[in-house]
């Protein structure tokens, strides 16, 4: 499969005291037809990375190839074939949807008609409306329509659904899926694990400017060793010795144990094997169970296992 | 169907502007408002009335009768303190005093630095002398000369035109560009294959489109309301207006080239505009400033524009007699434009 994006040993340092390494040796390969997600907390370097790939920022060093071309050599050719949705763009409120799309269409040699672009993002009835009158979700869909107007082979989307209500998010996911169904490539950044899981063929988990894991959501979750998670907590201060993760790691079907804020999370392969064993163990240790849930493992668990932090936590690196 | 990007960018700017009523008022209404107010303030008073106070005294009656016989005097008799108070506050122009010491004549009390008082003194003296029996040696005929071109409003309109061209260039280009940078629209455009020259071309062309109604409205208003005419060739005036507009668009682009906030760009615009508002002779001739400062003042683009506009509009001069002003404008325009292009920040 030919690659839409190849990026090797990407570095980006912002001057400062001390200098900030926003991207720190990042590798990435995205095949044609893939929907690829950069998943990571705020400040992980996702936006810097995507803006370097979009040709809006210059890397400190490293190699980038977009659709087999390089920035600085074939800028116009690349720009003609990619579509971009930035994290936040305030399109002119006084223009109508049609006028905005006609303006963007005029920049591209080839592309689709504004009418088709609005159809792709289901904004047909808003064609004559002023941008200022659109809702947040509609504005975001218009931004995507502007990205689609040049009929791109490759679509970049930086945090496409941040700040949107659940219904608007689902609408955007549908738009992205139907774009992918045309055999086109999508690279998106997100800090929503559910978005990455549902939308992306593959994701790269990014932290502190590096990819710390790469693969399909399924593969990454499987790398935890267990696809199910048992979360439970015990009543504290009943005089018994404290329960530690080591007390639990030898249980059958348990692949990993972590404890956070009094909640124990066991990654298990077979809940029906692990659960009775866990209850037995707790009884032996005279621990009183106060809460117990089982769920499927998510990318959030992958991230927490890899970094010890949550995706939505404020990160100190920015 | 694909239309030209430069046309679309220009159209977008025009639409944004004309759909913003406040902006339309400030750009088109403000110069007219200014012309109306100043035109009223400095209108010609047809018959100059002269206000004279006669201080109560020995021959106050004689003076009052003599002055009242001449139509242009407004005469009042008051006591000493009131007269002085009225003189000090500018309510009267001259006080006629008849004291024992002045013999058969009168004393005139006035401020020689006030031109209206000097005039009042002369007129009053004539009237009183004639009443006392002085004979004129010949009779002079007054013939009125009153033609447009020499009035304050004729002087003012080219100044206002220049001011409006400067403001329009700086605001129209500078403010809008920074606003687009703040909204990350510049960055969004940069992410498309849009050519930067098309963007800048669109900004300049839309600026010229705004300029036409701006200038035409002000000139038509001045012609209808005050009879202001262009004595030189309209083509010369149009050329100067166009050149001036390009020059100040260059300034607009320069102040906007790096500014990241509206406050920053407003500050920069004031730095550019304030000295020229004061020095370049919008409301009064810049020749009032000391001789030593004149070469510098003449190098300011607004001075060059207004001086050349006045020469063409009032004196009927040809554009070829204004070469130095044209060169000053062209140099400022191309320099600001080139520097702006070099340091312009898209995001």
Choose one of B83, B98, B131: the last residue of a domain: B131
- A109, closest residue in chain B (CA to CA): B2
Q: How confident is the model at residue A37 (pLDDT cuts 50, 70, 90)?
A: very high
Backbone conformation region of residue B109, classed left if phi is above 0, alpha if psi is from -120 to 50, else beta? beta
Task: Name the average pLDDT for chain A.
Answer: 88
In a domain, B274, yes or no: yes
CB proximity A58 to B under 8 Å: no
Q: Write the residue in A80, A89, A99 that is nearest to B12 by C-beta.
A: A99
Q: Write the residue in A56, A90, A113 that is nearest to B347 by C-beta.
A: A56
Asked if B23 and B125 sit in the same domain, the reply is: no
Q: Write the residue in A94, A102, A104 that is nearest to B16 by C-beta.
A: A94
A103 and B8 within 8 Å at the Cβ level: the answer is yes
Asked if B288 and B183 sit in the same domain, the reply is: yes
CB proximity A88 to B under 8 Å: yes
Task: Name the average pLDDT for chain B.
Answer: 87
In a domain, B86, yes or no: yes
Backbone conformation region of residue A253, classed left if phi is above 0, alpha if psi is from -120 to 50, else beta? left
Asked if B70 and B191 sit in the same domain, the reply is: no
Contact residues on chain A for B19, CB-CB shorter than 8 A: 94
B4 and A88 within 8 Å at the Cβ level: the answer is no
Asked if B256 and B109 sit in the same domain, the reply is: no
A92 and B16 within 8 Å at the Cβ level: the answer is yes
Read off the pLDDT of residues B202-221 as tens digits, 9 standing for 90 and up. 988 898 888 888 888 888 88
In a domain, B101, yes or no: yes
Residue B163 CB-half CA count within 13 A: 24
Residue among B142, B308, B183, B238 at smallest CA distance from A91: B183
Asked if B235 and B97 sit in the same domain, the reply is: no
Asked if B304 and B336 sit in the same domain, the reply is: yes
For residue B179, the distance in angstroms to the closest alpha carbon of chain A comes to 10
Stretch A56-78: mean pLDDT, rounded?
92
Highest-confidence segment of A184-193, A300-309, B93-102: A184-193
Name all domains of chain A by residue range, CATH numbers in brackets: 3-221 (3.40.50.300), 225-296 (3.30.70.100)
B184 and A150 within 8 Å at the Cβ level: the answer is no
Choose one of B104, B131, B158: the last residue of a domain: B131
Read off the pLDDT of residues B115-129 as tens digits, 9 standing for 90 and up. 888 989 998 998 888
pLDDT at B42: 67
Asked if B95 and B28 sit in the same domain, the reply is: no
For residue B316, the distance in angstroms to the closest alpha carbon of chain A comes to 43
In a domain, B307, yes or no: yes
Asked if B109 and B158 sit in the same domain, the reply is: no
* Longest alpha-carbon distance in chain B: 99
Read off the pLDDT of residues B245-259 as tens digits, 9 standing for 90 and up. 999 999 999 999 989
Read off the tokens for A134: 């659109």
Contact residues on chain A for B183, CB-CB shorter than 8 A: 89-91
Q: Write the residue in B15, B184, B189 that is nearest to A94 by C-beta.
A: B15
B-proximal residues of A, 102-121, CB under 8 Å:
102-109, 111, 113
Which residues, at least 6 apart from B318, have a Cβ–Cβ distance to it below 8 Å? B232, B233, B236, B312
Q: Which domain holds residue B176?
A: 5-42+148-343
Read off the pLDDT of residues A286-296 as tens digits, 9 standing for 90 and up. 888 888 999 88
Give percent above pLDDT 70 in chain B. 96
Read off the pLDDT of residues A93-146 as tens digits, 9 standing for 90 and up. 999 999 999 999 999 999 999 999 999 999 999 999 999 999 989 999 999 999
CB proximity A46 to B under 8 Å: no
CA angle A149, A192, A3 (to 5 degrees): 50
For residue B3, the distance in angstroms to the closest alpha carbon of chain A comes to 6
CB proximity A268 to B under 8 Å: no
Q: Is the distance from CB of B305 to CB of B162 less than 8 angstroms?
A: yes
- A84, closest residue in chain B (CA to CA): B191
The answer to which of A25-34, B28-37, B133-142 has the lowest mean pLDDT is B28-37
- Overall size of chain B counted in residues: 347
- The ipTM value here is 0.84
Whole-model pTM: value is 0.79
In a domain, B137, yes or no: no
Read off the pLDDT of residues A142-184 as tens digits, 9 standing for 90 and up. 999 999 999 999 999 999 998 888 998 999 999 999 999 999 9
Asked if B62 and B209 sit in the same domain, the reply is: no
Contact residues on chain A for B185, CB-CB shorter than 8 A: 89-92
- For chain B, how many structural domains are there in total? 2
B185 and A92 within 8 Å at the Cβ level: the answer is yes
B193 and A76 within 8 Å at the Cβ level: the answer is yes
Stretch B322-340: mean pLDDT, rounded?
94
- B202, closest residue in chain A (CA to CA): A103
A94 and B5 within 8 Å at the Cβ level: the answer is no
In a domain, B143, yes or no: no
pLDDT at B2: 65
pLDDT at A316: 40
Q: Is B285 helix (H, G, I), strand (E, B) or coil?
A: coil
Asked if B209 and B304 sit in the same domain, the reply is: yes
Asked if B214 and B262 sit in the same domain, the reply is: yes
Choose one of B106, B131, B156: the last residue of a domain: B131
Asked if B100 and B227 sit in the same domain, the reply is: no
Read off the tokens for B85: 């108070």
Q: In Å, what is the CA distance from B65 to each residue of A199, B61, B101, B121?
A: 104, 6, 21, 17
* CATH number of the domain within which B106 lies: 3.40.1710.10
Strand-strand pairing, A185-190 and A35-39: parallel
């Amino acid at each position: 499969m030919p690659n839409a994006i190849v990026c090797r040993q990407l570095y980006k340092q912002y001057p400062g005291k001390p200098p900030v390494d926003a991207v720190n040796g990042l590798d990435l390969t995205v095949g044609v037809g893939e929907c690829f997600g950069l998943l990571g907390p705020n400040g992980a370097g996702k936006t810097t990375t995507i803006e370097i790939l979009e040709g809006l920022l210059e890397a400190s060093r490293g190699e980038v190839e977009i659709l087999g071309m390089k920035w600085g050599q074939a800028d116009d050719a690349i720009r003609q074939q990619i579509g971009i949705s930035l994290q936040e763009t305030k399109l002119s409120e006084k223009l109508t949807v049609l006028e905005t799309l006609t303006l963007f269409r005029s920049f591209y040699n080839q592309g689709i008609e504004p009418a088709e672009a609005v159809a792709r993002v289901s904004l047909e009835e808003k064609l004559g409306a002023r941008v200022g009158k659109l809702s947040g979700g509609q504005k975001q869909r218009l931004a995507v329509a502007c990205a689609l107007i040049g009929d791109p082979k490759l679509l970049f989307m930086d945090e496409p659904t941040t700040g949107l209500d659940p219904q608007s998010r689902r609408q955007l996911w549908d738009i992205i899926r139907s774009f992918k169904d045309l055999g086109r490539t999508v690279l998106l950044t997100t800090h929503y694990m559910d978005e990455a899981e549902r939308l992306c063929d593959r994701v790269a988990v990014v932290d502190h400017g590096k990819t710390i894991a790469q693969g399909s959501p399924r593969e990454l979750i499987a790398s935890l060793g267990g696809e199910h998670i048992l979360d439970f907590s015990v009543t504290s201060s009943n005089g018994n010795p404290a329960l530690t993760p080591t007390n639990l790691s030898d249980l059958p079907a348990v692949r990993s144990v972590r404890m956070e804020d009094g909640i124990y999370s066991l990654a298990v392969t077979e809940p029906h094997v692990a659960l009775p064993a866990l209850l037995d163990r707790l009884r032996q240790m005279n621990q009183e169970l106060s809460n117990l849930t089982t769920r499927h493992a998510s990318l959030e668990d992958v991230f927490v296992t890899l970094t010890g932090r949550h995706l939505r936590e404020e990160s100190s690196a920015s | 169907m694909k239309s030209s990007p430069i046309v679309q960018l220009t159209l977008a700017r025009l639409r944004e502007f004309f759909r913003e009523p406040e902006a339309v008022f400030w750009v088109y209404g403000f110069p007219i408002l200014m012309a109306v107010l100043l035109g009223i303030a400095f209108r010609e008073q047809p018959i100059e009335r002269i206000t004279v106070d006669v201080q109560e005294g020995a021959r106050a009656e004689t003076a009052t009768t003599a002055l009242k016989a001449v139509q242009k005097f407004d005469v009042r008799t008051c006591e000493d303190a009131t007269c002085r108070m009225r003189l000090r506050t500018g309510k009267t122009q001259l006080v006629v005093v008849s004291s024992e010491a002045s013999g058969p004549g009168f004393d005139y009390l006035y401020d020689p630095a006030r031109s209206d008082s000097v005039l009042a003194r002369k007129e009053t003296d004539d009237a009183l002398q004639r009443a006392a029996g002085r004979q004129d040696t010949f009779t002079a005929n007054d013939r009125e000369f009153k033609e447009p071109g020499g009035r304050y409003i004729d002087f003012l309109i080219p100044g206002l035109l220049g001011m409006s061209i400067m403001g329009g260039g700086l605001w129209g280009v500078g403010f809008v560009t920074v606003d687009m940078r703040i909204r990350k629209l510049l960055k969004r455009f940069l992410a498309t294959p849009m050519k930067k020259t098309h963007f800048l071309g669109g900004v300049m062309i839309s600026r010229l489109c705004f300029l036409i109604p701006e200038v035409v409205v002000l000139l038509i208003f001045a012609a209808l309301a005050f009879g202001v005419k262009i004595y030189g060739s309209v083509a010369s005036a149009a050329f100067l207006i166009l050149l001036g507009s390009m020059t100040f668009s260059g300034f607009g682009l320069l102040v906007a080239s790096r500014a990241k906030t509206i406050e920053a760009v407003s500050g920069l615009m004031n730095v550019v505009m304030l000295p020229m508002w004061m020095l370049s002779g919008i409301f009064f001739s810049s020749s009032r400033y000391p001789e030593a400062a004149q070469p510098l003042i003449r190098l300011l683009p607004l001075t060059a524009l207004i001086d050349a506009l006045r020469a063409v509009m009032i004196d009927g001069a040809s554009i070829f007699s204004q070469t130095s002003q044209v060169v000053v404008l062209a140099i400022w325009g191309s320099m600001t434009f080139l520097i702006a292009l070099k340091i312009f920040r898209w995001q």
